[in-house]
Structure 1
Amino acid sequence: MSEQTPLPALPALPVTFRPGRTRAILLTAGITIFVVISGVALLLEQLGPGERLSFILTGGLIFWVLALLARVKVVAEESGVTVVNIAGKRHLEWAEILQVNLRPGDPWVFLNLSDGTSLPALGIQPGVAKQRAIADARTLRALAEARAIHDPGQDRG
C-alpha cells in the first residue's frame, strides 16, 4: 500500500453545506415580491375580492418557488450524506459515494455513485460564493474519502 497525503482536518459531524448568500438572496426576493404584490392588490381600489386574492396567491406562489430553490443543502452525518435538491431528497451511505466533483464551469457539485450514476448536489454551488463552494466541495470530498477508507463494511482486497 502506497503512502497517501494526509487528509485535511475534518469537521465534526453532522455538517450542513448550503449556498448561504444565494439562499439569503432568494428568500429576501421572495418575501419582497410577496409583500409588493400583496400591497398592490390591497391598494388598487378597482380590484374585486377575487382579483385581490389572485394577486396574493400569485405572490405566495412566487415565494414558494423561491423557497424551494433556497432549501437545497447537503448534510454529512455519521450514517452518510443527505442531498436535498429542489424537488427531492436522497440519503446516501458513505460507501455509495465514489467521487465528489466540482469542475470549472460546473453549476454545482456532482456525486459519482457506486451504481454508475451521478447525483447533482445543489447545496454546494459556486454561483455567488465560488471560494466557499470550492472549500465545501473539498471538505465533502475529504469526508467521503475518510469514511470510505474507514468503512468496516468495505472489502479491503
Structure 2
Amino acid sequence: MSDQLPSLPVTFRPTRTRAVLLTTGIAMFAVITAIAFMLETLNAGERASFVLTGALLFAVLVLLSRPKVVADETGVTVVNLTRRRRLAWAEILQVNLRAGDPWVFLNLSDGTSLPALGIQPGIGKQQAIRDAGALRALAEAHGSGPASA
C-alpha cells in the first residue's frame, strides 16, 4: 500500500461482485420475462407471476450488491444488506481483515464488532486487502486509537 491516504470522501465496495450480481440479475429478469411471453399457453395472470418472480430475484441480487463503506472527514458510513450505520472516526478502534475472513470487521469503542460487507475478499482479494489497508490508515489518521490488527 502507498504511504498516502486516499482523498476523502472515498467509497469502498466490492465492484466485481457487484457487477456480477447486477449483470446476473438483469439477465435472469430478461430471460424469465421472455419465457413468460414466449409460452403461448400462459394467461395474463401466469405471465404476470413469471415477471414478478423475475423482479423478485432481481431485487434480491440488488440487495446483495448494496454493501459499501463510505469514509469522509467526520467518519464512516457502513452500508450492509439491510442496515446503515454511521460511525465517528473515534468509535473505530481496529480495522481487521484476517486470512479467511469473509469481510472486514470494525472493532468499536463500545466493545462490539461491526461487519463491513463493503470490503470483502470474495472475487477481488487484492482489492479488498488494499481497501482494508486504506481504511485502516484513515482510521489511524482520524481516530483516537491504534487501528491496526
Q: Which residue of 2 aligns with 1:33?
A: 28
Structure 2 matches for 1:87-126, cutoff 5 A? 87-126=82-121
d(CA) in 1 for partners of 2:3, 2:13: 20
d(CA) in 2 for partners of 1:122, 1:67: 14
Q: Which residue of 2 aligns with 1:142?
A: 137
d(CA) in 2 for partners of 1:68, 1:141: 26
Cα deviation 1:21-56 (Å, max 9, x = unaligned)? 000000000000000000000110111111100000
Pairwise CA RMSD of aligned residues? 1.3
d(CA) in 2 for partners of 1:52, 1:141: 50
Structure 1 unaligned spans of 5+: 1-6, 151-157
The two structures have a TM-score, normalised by structure 2, of 0.94
Aligned-pair distance for 1:17? 0.2
User: In the alignment, residue 130 of structure 2 is paired with which amino acid?
Assistant: A
Q: Which residue of 1 aligns with 2:16?
A: 21
d(CA) in 2 for partners of 1:53, 1:79: 47
Q: Confirm or deny that 1:52 pairs with 2:55.
A: no
Structure 2 unaligned spans of 5+: none
User: In the alignment, residue 105 of structure 2 is paired with which amino acid?
Assistant: F
SS class of match (1:112): strand
Cα deviation 1:65-113 (Å, max 9, x = unaligned)? 0001111100000110000001111100000000000000000000000
Indicate conservation of the 8 Å contact 2:32/2:51, yes or no: yes
Q: 2:123 aligns with which of 111, 128, 139?
A: 128
SS class of match (2:107): strand
User: In the alignment, residue 100 of structure 1 is paired with which amino acid?
Assistant: V
| Structure 1 residue ranges, 4+ long, deviating more than 3 angstroms after superposition | none
Structure number, greater radius of gyration: 1
Q: Which residue of 2 aligns with 1:153?
A: none
User: In the alignment, residue 45 of structure 2 is paired with which amino acid?
Assistant: G
The count of residues paired between Structure 1 and Structure 2 equals 144
Identity of aligned residues (%): 69
